[in-house]
Amino acid sequence: MSGGPRAPFAAVAALALFIGPVSARGQSLLIENARIWTNDPARPEATSLLVVDGRIAAIGTTAGHIDPTVEVQRIDLGGRRVVPGFNDAHTHFFEGAFALLAPDLLSSDTPEELVRRLGAHVADQPPGRWIVLPASWDHERWPGSALPSRALIDSVTPQNPIWMVRPDGHIGLANSLALEAGGVTRDTPDPPGGQIDRDPVTGEPTGILRDSSGLVTHAIPAPSEAEYRQALDAGLAHAARLGVTTLQDMCYDPGPVEVRLLEEYERTGKLTARFTCQGWLGDWEAVAGRGVRTGGGDEWVRVGGLKSFADGGLGASTAYFFEPYEGEAEYRGYLDPSMMPPDTFRERAAGADRAGLQLVTHAIGDAAISMVLDEYERIGAENPARDRRWRIEHAQHMARKDFLRMADLGAIASVQPFHAIDDGRWAERKIGPERAKTTYAFRSFLDADVPLAFGTDWPVAPLEPMRSIYAAVTRRTLDGAHPEGWVPEEKITLDEAFAAYTSGSSFADGTETWKGRLAPGYAADLVALSADPWSIRPEELADVEAVLTMVGGKIIYRAE
């Protein structure tokens, strides 16, 4: 997947000539000859900044702040643009990290190409071994957009159970061995909030499961600790190369392993990104009972909120709307089981809120978003007032009446701009042109004073921040069908997009007082870019790369 035309990587090896040994936390470092976008209204631009003990000690006029008795490492950036480190407000980090270790199936442009690549991969695997492939197929790329089936892949997977997930995570494909291992037959009922696709003649499962992955994933063995470490190393290197310095991660599955490894990597100095870990709302009593509160932890591994689901996704046609899907007589999508009845969600969410835990709720369809706002409003009226920072994750398809309501509630729109240029290829086939007018409505959120936080939902979308910036500013869909932008009224400016990816995301995870800007006292989390986004054409934004990434005053990546 890509956010626009991709040029070869710019030659940036000369940058290494300006950089001495990589600094460690606790040392002083001076960045000079840079074009710094600070995201600080008090001083929007600067050319230098001083880092002491991992924090920005001064910016702009730095000479008077340098201790003459302390050796200072100097970095001349040769006029390169510097921005605050990117804070991705929504990731599934370990899933994405494991995907880095898997073969590239997603770019297959036909079902036949998918089968060829899958067969080549399976040929190297021992018989009987489960093969799990996240973000591995997208039927919308294929001629006719027909869904795959187990019949498509069974011939090349005769000895291995396979579970392949579409990037949105709401629809997956199981081969016959995987269905057998999960105990899924023609007699298996659809789970609440989900669907087993069936052959219209035989009634047998086709292998497509919509928001019902648990029917097969319960049978998949957990990865080994060595496999987790391999994935974590790959994921951290990937984030560093892209300039992602904070990841707000959905750590709820399988939480304890992930968090334990993150904390171990922090203790041993191997953690090169900050993590805010979201738990699972269904576990709120256990979490609250341990005294865990949002904001706990430290600056490297931090406690976030508790996530839940209100509905499914548009790609799987399981997002929940007020009106039926296009061409459907009555079908409006599914509510997640945790919303049926809404009292189930309310009881959990109100208890978590009373315990000081932030509510982080996935809601994509307009009816699902409205229902979550209804519940937030009730909880706010019943529980004592406090700084809650409620979040709606995705907030993709808004009812017009709910923009101002979100603002009144102080609810944060945690959105993923790349989805707009991806889904924009086909979304109107499902929701029609009228509903599309308030889809991925970044401009409308800002105009209504709704706090906006940017992320990717990686691996649902690429982790590359500049592709998301490109998407928010241009809204040019991946198929090239909308060169002026899909629903161009919802474009936002470059400054607004960078702010949503830095201070906006920091507000969403409660770190805006020390992260997301380049100002005195803030963490020295920053990125130098291969080109200046403010000096190039918008359609070139997707080609901009990170050439240097710093977290806490430590250089964790530089292009060679």
Q: Is the pLDDT of residue 13 over 70?
A: no
Query: How do residues 444-470 score in pLDDT, each as one tens digit?
Result: 999 999 999 999 999 999 999 999 999
Whole-prediction pTM: 0.89
Q: Provide the pLDDT for residue 310.
A: 97
Mean pLDDT of 1-15: 27
Question: Which candidate, 85, 89, 50, places its Cα nearest to that of 66?
Answer: 50
pLDDT over 90 (residue 256): no
Per the prediction, the chain carries an average pLDDT of 92
- Is residue 189 reached through a cis peptide bond, with omega within 30 degrees of 0 on the bond before it? no
In whole angstroms, give the CA distance from residue 82 to residue 69: 28
What DSSP designation does 144 have? G
- With H, G, I as helix, E, B as strand and everything else as coil, classify residue 285: helix
pLDDT tens digits for range 385-411: 999 999 999 999 999 999 999 999 999
Sequence-separated (6 or more) residues with CB below 8 Å from residue 86: 242, 243, 244, 245, 246, 465, 501, 502, 527
Structure confidence at residue 167 as a pLDDT band (50, 70, 90): confident
Q: Residue ranges of the alpha helices (H) in 89-165?
A: 93-100, 111-122, 150-153
Fold match between 1-85+516-560 and 93-217?
Answer: no
pLDDT band at 69 (very low <50, low <70, confident <90, very high): low
Token code pair at residue 73 = 């490492």
Q: Which residue has the tokens 């020295």?
A: 524
Second CATH level (architecture) for the domain 1-85+516-560: Roll (2.30)
Distance CA 329, CA 412 (A): 33
Q: What is the pLDDT of residue 1?
A: 33
Q: Where are the domains of the chain?
A: 1-85+516-560, 93-217
Q: What is the mean pLDDT of residues 436-442?
A: 97
pLDDT category at 248 given cuts 50, 70, 90 is very high
Sole residue written with tokens 């399988």: 254
- Average of pLDDT values for 344-371? 97
Q: Half-sphere exposure of 473 toward its Cβ, with a 13 Å CA cutoff?
A: 26
Q: For residue 255, name the pLDDT band (cuts at 50, 70, 90).
A: low
Q: Chain-centre distance of CA 89, in angstroms?
A: 6
Architecture, CATH, for domain 93-217: Roll (3.10)
Instruction: Look at the chain and count its residues.
Output: 560
pLDDT at position 252 is 67
- Adjacent-strand bridge partners of 37: 45
